[in-house]
Structure 1
Amino acid sequence: MGIETEPTAAYNRAHRALRLHTFDHTRVAGSRIGGLWFLLAVRALMFSYALFVWVFSLVRDARAGTGNVHFAYFTNLCYTGLVAYLAASLYHTVRAIRQRSTASFSDMWPVFQLMHWLLYGSVAVFSVIVTGVYWSMLYPSAHNMSGRDTWINASVHAMNTGFFVVEAVVGGMVLTSHWSHPCVLVAVGFMYVMLAYVNEAVNGFFTYDFLNYKEKKGVEAAYIFGLLAALFIIYYVVWALQRLLDRMLPVKSHCAQAGNDSEYQQVECSSPPMERV
């Protein structure tokens, strides 16, 4: 039994509009470097660390009395998405090792397949945004941080992007070039802005100073639309880099081939193109 190279589910018009029918399922458990066990080790290590940081940060805020606004911050929401993606990718990797196929992904409802793809896209784009905005706009105003806070900040504002880079170089997941996916991410970014203003109305503070329309007097609109435009640009920059990476380090799908003793033997197969039309 080999890895399914064609999606087996029937995709409706909405799924096709979002290009889900073009996604190569073998990339979920494919790798550019090493085999499945190496991919498993890398993803397990990243997930374990990210989960520890996520729990530690949540407990820290709860003990400080700010747990109720923990998820009002874009950074914490994005880090939650990173943990969720690493958990899902780790699950599919384990299943690929056990089943020698990507059936765990192919057998899911198309809507969940799409969510996994979009979740990967959010990690790819939002990690860069979080890292860039924090170190360029927010970090200069941070003072007198303890060693623990410095570690948390480095983990959620720097290592988040580092984890994505490792995942991109080692794993096989990719973005799609279709405009619908970055538009979904821009919509998510816009919804966060609305959430930030709801938080201000309920809790009386702005999560980020550049969103403060009371003091910025219209300048915040330039920040908001600039960041939303940056989401779109960053998406296609990452997509282009992944195309280049595909040429330099082609993705290997880990197929199964029956041997003389009827035991499965793992072989490496060249990956199909990044998208099938």
Structure 2
Amino acid sequence: MASPKPTPGSSRLYGLLGVPAPFDTSYTLVTSPILPPLWLAATRLTFAVYGTVFIIFRLAYEGIKYHTDSAFFSYFTSLSYIGLFSYFWASGVQTLLFALSGCKRYPLQRWYKPLHFLHMLLLSTIITFPIIVTIVFWSLLSSPTTLSTRYSAWTNISEHALNTVFAAFEIFFTNAGVLSASPAARGLPWMHLPFLLVLLACYLGVAYITAGAQGFYNPHTQHGLLAAYIVGIAIGEAIVFTLVRYLCLFRHHLSIRMSRFGMESVSVDEGSGKRYSGLLADGEDWEDVGRPSAGSRSETSGGRGMAV
């Protein structure tokens, strides 16, 4: 079902939240500067399967052997890890459907604006939170036992190193992170940062719940250290968000520059001679790179010529 037409006021609000109307006409969320949509979908879904298998195996193994599975959801590492692979499932399925449609559309485009915003906010979390987790763990929380056994090495590398590798894939090898209501305001929306800080603050509630229910963390005895962590992580999140935002912008401008030199390589419809590189900005058109075959046609959607 198509989403209702937004009012001018709501359009401005959603524009500030990084949700343009119409939504993602350049397919930035389901394309890559270097991978065809089908390969991008396969990569995202491979990450999603790996993360899901890891989480299920760890819960089962530690629940049976150590009876510590109940503590899994008390850690920000675990919660952010679940969010990371939830994104890969969502984006992977959308990208797959985009590829199977002949690169004409994907379902999220037709959904309601709140779902557009939630998808964009989830994207902002998965390309910033894993970096915070990795920095904090390896600089403050790791110990000589972190890599002492095969199982410990696998779990810690998966949760505290590969998480940032997966986030870096979205930052550097997809077109995500540049969707905006206007070219002048590209990049992760600044309005997402307060939401991310609120989500981090909400995790403090989990710490107190853990202290009351399981007793292995007591925030009441470490007020000074807790305050330092809160301030430090908030500042760290703001810094990481800013760096990631401008990394996405740099990647976007580099991709556009590459496309101008004819370095795009993602084919959509070789038979008709039309090609979509995945490097286009909003308002740029499809590129006719060959002589259309007989019987091929194009149709206009949202002001853009689309190969069919």
* TM-score bucket of the superposed structures, by smaller chain: 0.7 to 0.9
Contact 1:31-1:253 at 8 Å conserved across structures: no
Whole-angstrom CA distance in 1 between matches of 2:227 and 2:158:
29
Deviation readout 1:114-148 (Å, 9 max, x if unpaired): 11111111111100011001100110364674211
Task: Report matched runs for 1:1-277 at 5 Å.
Answer: 10-11=5-6, 13=10, 14-21=13-20, 24-25=24-25, 26-63=27-64, 64-99=66-101, 100-140=103-143, 142=145, 145-174=148-177, 176-206=187-217, 212-214=219-221, 216-250=222-256, 267-268=276-277, 270-272=279-281
Q: d(CA) in 1 for partners of 2:188 and 2:87?
A: 20
8 Å Cα contact 1:11/1:20 also seen in 2: no
* Change in CA separation of 1:182 and 1:31 when aligned onto 2, cut-off 3 Å: same
Q: Considering only aligned residues, what root-mean-square deviation do their CA atoms show, in Å?
A: 2.9
After superposition, the Cα gap between the structure-2 partners of 1:33 and 1:200, relative to the gap in structure 1 and judged at 3 Å, is: same
Give 2:216's aligned amino acid.
Answer: F
Displacement after TM superposition at 1:39 (Å) = 1.2
1:21 is paired with a residue of what secondary structure?
Answer: coil
* Cα distance in 1 between the residues matched to 2:57 and 2:85: 13
Q: Is the 8 A contact 2:18 2:120 kept in 1?
A: no
- Work out whether residues 81 and 123 of structure 1, in 8 Å CA contact, stay in contact via their aligned partners in 2: yes
Distance of 2:250 and 2:16 partners within structure 1: 26
Structure 1 116/74 Cα, relative in aligned 2: closer, same or farther at 3 Å? same
Q: Size of the alignment, in residue pairs? A: 260
Q: Give 1 or 2 for the bigger CA radius of gyration.
A: 2
Q: Give the TM-score, by structure 1 length.
A: 0.83
Sort the Cα spacing of 1:152 and 1:253 in 2 relative to 1 into closer, same or farther, 3 A.
same
**Cα offset, 1:42, TM superposition:** 1.9
Kept after mapping to 2: 8 A contact 1:255/1:269: no
Identify the structure with the greater helix proportion: 1
Task: Give the match's secondary structure for 2:277.
Answer: strand
Distance 1:256 1:203 in 2: 54
Partners of 1:115 and 1:87 in 2: how far apart? 14
Q: Which runs of 5+ in 1 are unaligned?
A: 1-6
Distance 2:85 2:278 in 1: 29
- Structure 2, unaligned stretches of length 5 or more? 179-186, 284-308
Asked whether the equivalents of residues 20 and 114 of structure 1 are also in contact (C-alpha less than 8 Å), the reply is yes
Partner letter of residue 268 of structure 1? S
CA–CA distance in structure 2, aligned partners of residues 232 and 76 of structure 1: 21
| CA distance in structure 2 between the partners assigned to 1:59 and 1:75 by the alignment | 18
CA contact (8 A) 2:32 2:40 kept: yes
Q: Structure 1 residues 226 and 185 mapped into 2: Cα distance closer, same or farther (>3 Å)? A: same
Q: Which moved more, 1:193-202 or 1:11-20?
A: 11-20
Partner of 1:249, secondary structure, is helix
Structure 1 residues 116, 189: CA separation in 2 closer, same or farther (over 3 Å shift)?
same
Scaled by the length of structure 2, what TM-score is found? 0.75
